[in-house]
Structure 1
Amino acid sequence: MAGRNAAGGIRFRGSHGISAQFLPPAPPKHFVGRLRELEQLRPNGVTLVSGPAGVGKTALALRWLHDRCSGDQLYLDLTVREPVELRLGRLLRALRLNDVPAEDRVAAFRSIVLKQKITLLLDNASSADQVTPFLPASGTVVVTSRSSLDLGGAEIALDPLTDETGSLAPLLDLSYVELPERQARLYRLCAWHPGTHFDVPEAAAIAGESECDVEDALDDLVEKALLTEVGDTAFGFHDLVRAHARAKRQIG
């Protein structure tokens, strides 16, 4: 799961003395092929970045925050489901507002975000209802989701990268060489699965490892955009990525 931390998915960057645990995750080292979408992201207003798992939604948002967006930033990973009141309580404490009654937390959070001009990144949203309590009356908010959500703002829909410019193969090489050996081995082996997608038990059988270890490694490959999730329980390769993985096994 991209960007999650021990504090339950909340990270903050700014000049308010907040702990480093609230910093947004660092953007990916290698970023190519999304320059047009990067230019489409604009300050002010709500922008939804949508697309399938592993397509690079979070990477795009983090790169934009790092390169194009000055000022204070707050990151929330909405993958973890929890009551809005509890999440807002932790957020407000991180922003040095303690003991705010539950019924006042939405208004208090929106007010401080608006007054301090904090840019929000709401990552991995699954519904508009998850996002709405955090939206200030104005300001800059970027939301990532696998779904097209009605948030009343702009939407940038990401498709899998193509290699028309020849830039994808070098990017895959850079991602591959940084993989730990377990993930690299799984990447090479699963590319030879005869179907279009596979599940955790099938990947474990291919690798000769436990399902628990393989599931963690598959999640890491999804985070690095080397695999995509197919439904809730399966994984698959983009055609170009599969060809790259197969070539690595032949070389190795």
Structure 2
Amino acid sequence: MSDVLTDTTGTAGAIRYRGRTGVPPQFRPPRAPGHFVGRGDELARIRTGGVTVLSGPGGVGKTALALKWLQDRGSGDQLYVDLAAREPVAELLRSFGLIEVPAGDRAAVFRSLAVRRQFTLLLDNADSAEQVTPLLPASGTVVVTTRKKLNLDQALEIAVEPLADDPLLGALLDLSYVELPERQARLYRLCAWQPGAFDVPVAAAIAGECVCDVEDALDDLVEKSLLTEVGDAFRFHELVRAHARTKR
């Protein structure tokens, strides 16, 4: 079966296309965190139609917020693209059976696919406006997460700040803590006594472990929103630090 995808800008290319109807598993949104509290204001502001950019430091919960919104929305086909991956657009097109797409045409074909299939897009871990702009379809809903302000034309940008004190936060942290592997849980407890920000060598020295093992464990804590990454260093939100110091 062959097909022709035509971009709204007029770019067209005859592409061999197998006609996949479902979203490939690797490009379906991951499941939203099971333990999610707060962020009601941010959830209400993400808009259906147009582009919403969620910006904030690493570990603050941007991706969790986006996934929660997608889960609550629960309609239509949803497409997740991790822009930090190697050649994510080329891999996505191949997964849909769109092969032999020249590098210079991939963004246009991606936009055409998004419009044709009316996908809701989550573009995760964007690095710059220059990376995102070529991928934005002419219509539809797009949510972008990034550590930087992108200043995209006509996009709604929401700054995602660390969680404020919330009566449910302690219970959420307890649930997150009991699910940690032992190395991460030990690091969580020990590093909470380090004042201010700390880097990987400092954390390794505190834990008495090798740098490579500690670096992986710190990354896991960031992914679980228990640490915030700031450049080459890490820091605790004060509420999270206080929680970690209660653990033995």
Is the CA contact 2:27–2:92 (under 8 Å) kept in the aligned structure 1?
A: no
Query: Residue 59 in 1 paired to residue 64 in 2?
Result: yes
Counterparts of 2:22 and 2:37, CA distance in 1: 33
Match of 2:234 in 1: 235
Match of 1:96 in 2: 97
Match of 1:156 in 2: 158
Counterparts of 1:150 and 1:182, CA distance in 2: 39
Q: Deviations over 1:62-95 (max 9, x none)?
A: 1111111411111111223x5xxx5433222222
SS of 1:159's partner is coil
Q: Which amino acid aligns with 2:237?
A: H
Counterparts of 1:30 and 1:124, CA distance in 2: 22
Counterparts of 2:217 and 2:53, CA distance in 1: 28
SS of 1:241's partner is helix
Instruction: Give the gaps of 5 or more residues in structure 1.
Output: 1-14
TM-score by structure 1 length?
0.86
Match of 2:11 in 1: none
Counterparts of 2:180 and 2:117, CA distance in 1: 39
Offset, 1:18: 4.4
Counterpart mapping for 1:1-252 below 5 A: 16-80=21-85, 82=86, 86-152=87-153, 153-163=155-165, 165-193=166-194, 195-231=195-231, 233-248=232-247, 252=248
How many percent identity over aligned positions?
66
Offset, 1:105: 2.2
Is the CA contact 1:50–1:144 (under 8 Å) kept in the aligned structure 2?
A: yes
Offset, 1:17: 3.8
Q: Deviations over 1:185-214 (max 9, x none)?
A: 000000111x30111111111111111000
Count of aligned pairs:
228
Instruction: Give the gaps of 5 or more residues in structure 2.
Output: 1-19
TM-score by structure 2 length?
0.87
Counterparts of 1:133 and 1:22, CA distance in 2: 19
Is the CA contact 1:43–1:69 (under 8 Å) kept in the aligned structure 2?
A: no
Match of 1:4 in 2: none
Match of 1:5 in 2: none
Counterparts of 1:45 and 1:69, CA distance in 2: 17
Counterparts of 1:135 and 1:25, CA distance in 2: 21
SS of 1:198's partner is coil
Is the CA contact 1:122–1:144 (under 8 Å) kept in the aligned structure 2?
A: yes
Is the CA contact 2:79–2:120 (under 8 Å) kept in the aligned structure 1?
A: yes
Instruction: Tell me whether 16-25 or 207-216 shows the greater mean CA deviation.
Output: 16-25
Counterparts of 2:125 and 2:30, CA distance in 1: 14
Q: Which amino acid aligns with 1:151?
A: L
SS of 2:64's partner is helix
In angstroms, what is the RMSD of aligned CA positions? Answer: 1.5
TM-aligned CA distance change 1:106 to 1:230, over 3 Å:
closer
Counterparts of 2:75 and 2:168, CA distance in 1: 29
